[in-house]
Amino acid sequence: MNPSINHRLDSMIRAMTEIILPALGSSNGLATEQAGLLLGHLNVLKLQLEYASRYQQAELYDAMGLARALISEASGGAETKAAIARLSATLEEPRGNYTVRADDKLESINEAIENIIHAMKSDGEPVSRTLTHRLILNHGKATAERDRVWFSAMGFEAAESGLPSFSDMLASLPEIVAVA
By the criterion CB under 8 A, which residues form the site for another protein? 29-30, 32-34, 37-38, 40-41, 66, 106-107, 110-111, 113-114, 117-118, 121, 130, 133-134, 136-137, 139-141, 143-145, 147-148, 150-151, 154-160
Question: Smallest Cα–Cα separation from 84: which of 112, 118, 64, 61?
Answer: 112
Q: Name the minimum Å distance from CB 16 to another protein.
A: 12
Looking at the Cβ atoms of 68 and 118, the one nearer to another protein is: 118
Q: Which is nearer to another protein, 56 or 179 (CB)?
A: 56
Question: Do the Cβ atoms of 138 and 89 come closer than 8 Å?
Answer: no
Q: Smallest distance from the beta carbon of 2 to another protein, in angstroms? A: 26
Q: How far is the CB of 123 from another protein (least distance, A)?
A: 13
Min. distance of Cβ 94 from another protein in angstroms? 21
Return the number of other C-beta atoms located less than 10 Å from residue 170's C-beta.
17
Integer angstrom CA distances of residue 48 from 44, 59, 164, 166? 6, 14, 16, 10
Pick between residue 85 and residue 144 the one whose CB is nearest to another protein: 144
30 or 100, CB closer to another protein? 30
Closer by beta carbon to another protein, 131 or else 179: 131
Q: Min. distance of Cβ 118 from another protein in angstroms?
A: 6
Instruction: Say if CB 169 and CB 146 are below 8 A apart.
Output: yes
